[in-house]
Amino acid sequence: MKALLVGEYRDGKLLGSTYELLAFAQKIGAQAAMFLVGSEAALPQFDGPLYLADAKAAGEFNPALHKQLLLQVIEQEQPELIVLAHSSYGWDLAPRLALALKCAQISEVLGYAEGAFLAPACNAKLRRTLKPATARAVVTLQAGAFSLPGEPAGTPQVKPLSIQAAVGGLEFVGYEAAQKAAVDLSRAEIIVSAGRGIGKKENVEMIAALAKALGGELGASRPVVDAEWVDHSRQVGTTGQTVAPRLYVACGISGAIQHLAGMKKSDFILAVNTDKEAPIGEVADVLVVADVKQFAPALAEKASTL
Ligand code: FAD
């Protein structure tokens, strides 16, 4: 199988997600070619053809123009799979490509086996297996779902792409940095995070009290932040902060891949969940099957007497 990987580049740097695309291609045994709007100064390490459009001429984020360039490469390479990261760049470009190619598009792929893709469903509560109904498919990969077994290696054969004219009425103006997180969780040694399982806003105080008793910081999963129980500056995960504390306590957090991507490198993970089958158990060093409303105050009381 042939796969065309759409690498990502930002502000002069190749993004790490590009290597996740390579890891996926390796995992499924696909022959990989890559498309990148980037620069000669920041090339990915891999052996294979690299179609390179200069970011200064093509704009780092211009899905209309990038789609046109990609269609030229697809015409030449004839890949069965076009693979992008499930990022703001990927989820903008992927449907445009699928529409132009009249082929299937599958988002947030977590795995692959025997021609079928594993992807989340129902707000990541379930996983489904999808087989594209067309011979070709455009897929986006969940952040953190695939990683290379070792260090990347190799030298691509660069094939420069020429940019004729701007298309689609879009012009890349630039990026604007989001407000810096008020709390830098990446430096915290202990983090106690609240998930939807805490039940209601009033219970955040109970989790914050446990964090305080353990000498740590309060963190949160995305639903807790979306419900405005906790500020976004404390969100852990792909759209929050990436943390690696000595101790991470996950309170009422199921363990969706977007949350795990932000905390799975913690030294020791203690999870509290009423569901003994919760996916957080796969990464936790200890899974306490209990109601967090009983466990958190009890642990906080114990910790404050030490
Ligand atoms: P749920 O999945 O609802 O889990 C609640 C858990 O609490 C369950 O396991 C349940 O058994 C348990 N529970 C219930 N009651 C109790 C109780 N009394 N005591 C103990 N346990 C209890 N999520 C993030 O966290 N961070 C991100 O950065 C992030 N980015 C995302 C980006 C994208 C593009 C997308 C699509 C999703 C993202 N998500 C992110 C959302 C993610 O998919 C999950 O929906 C989310 O992580 C689930 O949060 P949760 O575990 O708190 O809630």
Q: Which residue has the tokens 């990148």?
A: 36
Q: Which amino acid is at 149?
A: P
What pLDDT, on a 0 to 100 scale, did the predictor assign at position 180?
63
141-150 tens-digit pLDDT? 988 889 888 8
Structure-block tokens of residue 127: 């996983």
Q: Could you give the ipTM of this predicted complex? A: 0.99
User: What is the distance in A from the centroid of ligand 1 to the CA of 295?
Assistant: 19
Phi-psi region of 108 (alpha: psi -120 to 50; beta: other; left: phi over 0): left
**Model confidence at 85, in pLDDT bands (50, 70, 90)?**
very high
Phi-psi region of 56 (alpha: psi -120 to 50; beta: other; left: phi over 0): alpha
Specify the residue with its C-alpha closest to ligand 1, atom 39.
258
Predicted TM-score of the model (pTM): 0.69
Pocket of ligand 1 from Cβ distances under 6 Å: 123-124, 195-197, 221-223, 235-240, 252-254, 256, 258-259, 262, 272-275, 278, 291-293
11-50 tens-digit pLDDT? 889 999 999 999 999 999 999 999 999 999 999 999 999 9
Integer Cα distance of 157 and 137 in angstroms = 25
Largest Cα span, the chain: 70
Residues in the chain: 306
